[in-house]
A and B are shown apart, each in its own frame.
Chain A
């Protein structure tokens, strides 16, 4: 019996992304919660290069990096394909996933430490970048078309985290007026049971973000 283990962290969107992929494929897996302030010897053994979650372990073989894990899952369990079939469509999905991780997320994180006019400018930069994805959705139900696909899974949990962050920081990165398609798409995904199973309880998530921000502020004083 093939064994699948996932080393994750309850508040990490990268961890949620992998969980959703496994659930959409109906893969049974054993979830191991990591305390990131005290990483397990097993995690360090499975991901010695980055020492990070998520790590998927399949038949004792570890795979790290969420986008790499997603493609591995898609290739290994071929039901409910996540990536499109056509090579050009696949290239486009991969392009936007990379853009989201390498451009949108780091810029969004900069809003935390920034203040005043500088923060406003960074928020505008995030909007400009998110607008590409707004146009990419362009009347479709999901980035994947009629059903959830690779890009939906990659973007959703981080986009949702931006919204939850707003409760604590008052920084709005995804406004209904400016990014209506993305807002509608988030609402649509929140109504899907299997997606909801991967999201942490809202109050717990807010408390976690608040504690993290206070710790970051006090350490910089």
Chain B
């Protein structure tokens, strides 16, 4: 595959950008990574994702694909001779997609809320995040069936969907000075998190937690400044 045939528009702090990168690593597919600069969106991004103007965007032979989990499925279906990312059984696929939607729509938004929450609101959102991790622990036990990953012996769709949030989860723990992923409460997830993060397809594309903390603090500062200016 010529590098020019496959481009990925992304940015290093984005958990969503990690998803197609891990998928392409699993398939051993080479691609050109085009880093978007903060504060401005490239012409290529605006042209290839006019609807959302967001990263990641995969551009394959000139055709753009948007939305990170949709890109992951596209990668799995296009490079079908490589290791499979989605399970082969329709029911297992449905379960993986169900939990992928859950982490995106119900669980992760709470991490954002936590970053600027205070007092009682902070306690409440921490409770919600931890409850979600309890659900995900149950899901992990059921789905992994004693193996290392949600995908079994290999990294799969749900590992990618949930695992991409681990950097921000750890960064949130540092920024808010709270333990969220507790190996006493969710031992399966705690172990999975370490194994996932050090996997060859993941470790080079997982952002460093300290860099995320620095970036996260700058985002919170901007948010607070904007809020103060408007009140």
Q: Is the CB of B70 within 8 A of A98?
A: yes
Chain A residues with Cβ below 8 Å from B93 are 71-72, 75
With contact pairs A88-B63, A95-B66 given, residues A63 and B73 touching in the complex (Cβ less than 8 Å): no
B63 x A68 contact (CB < 8 A):
no
Please state if B97 and A68 are interface contacts (CB–CB under 8 Å): yes
Asked whether, in the complex, the Cβ of B51 is within 8 Å of the Cβ of A132, the reply is yes
Secondary structure class of chain A's binding surface, majority of residues: helix
Kindly state whether residue B119 has any CB partner on chain A within 8 Å. Answer: no
Q: Are B77 and A71 in contact, with the CB atoms below 8 A?
A: no
User: What residues of B have a CB within 8 angstroms of the CB of A90 in the complex?
Assistant: 73-74, 77
Report yes or no: A88 in contact with B94, Cβ–Cβ below 8 A. Answer: no
A 56-88 to B, binary, CB cutoff 8 A, 1 in contact else 0: 001001011101110110011000000000011
Selected from B60, B66, B71, B94, the residue in CB contact (under 8 A) with A68 is B94
In the complex with contacts A61-B91, A63-B91, A75-B90, A94-B97 CB distance below 8 A: no
Taking A72-B90, A72-B91 as contacts, is the C-beta distance between A87 and B97 under 8 angstroms? no
Given contacts A88-B65, A132-B51, contact A95 B70 (CB under 8 A): yes
Residues on B with beta carbons closer than 8 Å to the beta carbon of A69: 94
Given contacts A64-B98, A65-B98, A99-B51, contact A87 B90 (CB under 8 A): no
A2 within 8 A of B: no
Asked if B81 CB lies within 8 Å of chain A CBs, one says: no
With A88-B74, A90-B77 given, is the CB distance from A95 to B94 under 8 Å? Answer: no
Contact of B90 among A76, A94, A132 (CB under 8 A): A76
The answer to whether A68 and B98 touch across the interface, beta carbons within 8 angstroms, is: yes
Chain A contributes a number of interface residues (CB within 8 A of B) equal to 22
Complex interface: chain A residues within 8 A of B73 (CB): 90-91, 94
CB distance from B84 to the nearest CB of A (A): 14
Interface bits B79-97 vs A (CB < 8 Å: 1, else 0):
0000000000011011101
Q: How far is the CA of A76 from the CA of B73 in the complex (A)?
A: 18
A residues 88-111 touching B (CB-CB < 8 Å)? 88, 90-91, 94-95, 98-99
Provide the residues of chain B in CB contact with A68, threshold 8 Å. Answer: 94, 97-98, 101
The answer to whether A49 has its CB under 8 Å from any CB of chain B is: yes
The verdict on B220 contacting chain A, using a C-beta distance below 8 Å, is no
Instruction: Tell me the nearest residue of chain A to B71, going by C-beta.
Output: A91
Separation of A88 and B70 alpha carbons in the complex (Å): 10
**Assembly CA distance A67 to B101 (angstroms):** 10
Which chain A residues border B192 with CB–CB below 8 Å? none
Q: Which residues of B contact A49 (CB under 8 A)?
A: 102, 135
- Whether a CB of chain A sits under 8 angstroms from the CB of B231 is no
Q: Which residues of A contact B77 (CB under 8 A)?
A: 87, 90
Complex Cα–Cα for A94 and B97 (A): 13
Q: Is B208 an interface residue (CB 8 A)?
A: no
Residue of B nearest to A99 (CB): B51
Chain B minimum-CB-distance residue to A96? B51
State A65–B100 Cα separation when bound (angstroms). Answer: 11
A119 to B88, CA, bound (A): 46
Q: Verify if B137 is at the interface (C-beta below 8 Å from A).
A: no
Residue among B65, B74, B78, B98 with most chain A CB within 10 A: B98
Q: Quick one: closest B residue to A74, CB to CB?
A: B90
Q: When the two chains form their complex, are residues A95 and B91 in contact, meaning their CB atoms are under 8 A apart?
A: no
Are A87 and B51 touching (Cβ within 8 A)?
no
> Cα distance A99–B70 when bound, in Å?
12
The answer to whether A94 and B67 have CB atoms under 8 Å apart is yes
- B interface residues with partner A (beta carbon < 8 Å): 51, 60, 63, 65-67, 70-71, 73-74, 77-78, 90-91, 93-95, 97-98, 101-102, 135
Query: 14 A-B Cβ contacts within 8 A?
Result: A49-B102, A61-B91, A63-B91, A63-B95, A65-B98, A68-B101, A72-B94, A75-B90, A87-B77, A88-B74, A90-B73, A90-B74, A90-B77, A95-B70
The 6 closest A-B pairs by CB, nearest first: A87-B77, A75-B90, A72-B94, A91-B74, A63-B94, A91-B65
A87-B77, A88-B63 known; 15 other A-B pairs, CB under 8 Å?
Answer: A49-B102, A58-B91, A63-B94, A65-B97, A65-B98, A68-B94, A68-B101, A69-B94, A71-B97, A72-B91, A72-B94, A76-B90, A90-B73, A94-B67, A95-B66
